[in-house]
Amino acid sequence: MNRLTLFDAAERPDPALVERFSRLNTPAVSDNLERCHGSVGLYPVGGCLAALGLKAMAGPALTVRTRPGDNLVVHKALDLAQPGDILVIDARGEVTNAILGELMCRYARSRGIAGIVLDGAIRDFDALSAGILPVFARSASHLGPYKSGPGEIHGTVHIGGITVDDGDILVGDADGVVVVPRWRAEATVAAAERVVEMERQQAEEIDNGRLDRSWIDRALEVVPANGAARA
C-alpha cells in the first residue's frame, strides 16, 4: 500500500480577504513582506493568466508534498480540495517527469480549484497556456509521471526557496508567486493596498512632469572627483 500522510487541514481565510489580495500585484504584496516571501523560478505557464482574463490569482494553499516525478498524492489532493483552493505542490524542483498536464488541470477546474503552483514540471504546455486555469510551474516536460507515492497533504512544503504552510494565502501574477503567512494576511493586504494607491499617484505625477526626485540627493553624499589624489 502506498503511504499518504494526511495532516489536518488549516482553517481557511475569509473569502473577502482573498478577494482583496486578488486585486493586488505581487510586487506590492512582496514589498510588505520584507521582499523575501516569494518563490524563485516559478512562473505562469505560457499565457494562461491572460487567456483567462486575469492579472493575478489568489487563494489559500492546499499543500502537497510528492516524490519527484510521481503524482499519486496529487490526484488525492484534487479530490480533497475545496473551491477556491490553490494546490501548492512540492515536487523538489525536479523537472525530468511532469507532475500534471491538461486532463488533471481540467479536473481541477471542475472542482473549483483557483490555481496550481508546482515546483516541478508540467506537460501539455499549449493546452495549459490556452487558459484552463492559472498554473505556475518551473518547467515543462513531455515525460509523464509515475503513480507509486508516497506523499503528504496539508503539511509544510517548500517551493522555489520559500516555506508554505497549509492555509497560507498565495498571490501569483506574471512576476511570480508571493506567499503570505496566515497570521500576517490582514496587515499585509492593508499595507499593499496603500502601496498600490501611492504608486498610482506617482505614475500620475510622472506623466504630468511633477514627480519630486529630491529624495535621491538627500540620500547621497556627493563627493566631487575633480582634483582627487590618484594612487
- Is 124 annotated in a binding site? The answer is yes
- Is 104 annotated in a binding site? The answer is yes
Residue 173 DSSP code: E
Burial 140-166 (b: 16+ CB within 10 A, else e): bbeeebeeebebbbbbebbbbebebbb
- Is 103 annotated in a binding site? The answer is yes
- Is 59 annotated in a binding site? The answer is no
**Strand pairing category for 151-153 and 4-6:** parallel
The three cell numbers of residue 34 are 520584507
- Is 102 annotated in a binding site? The answer is yes
| Helix H or strand E segment including 61 | strand 56-66
| Number of other residues whose CB lies within 10 A of the CB of residue 68 | 18
Residue ranges of the annotated binding site are 101-104, 123-124
Residue ranges of the annotated binding site for substrate are 101-104, 123
Residue ranges of the annotated binding site for Mg(2+) are 124
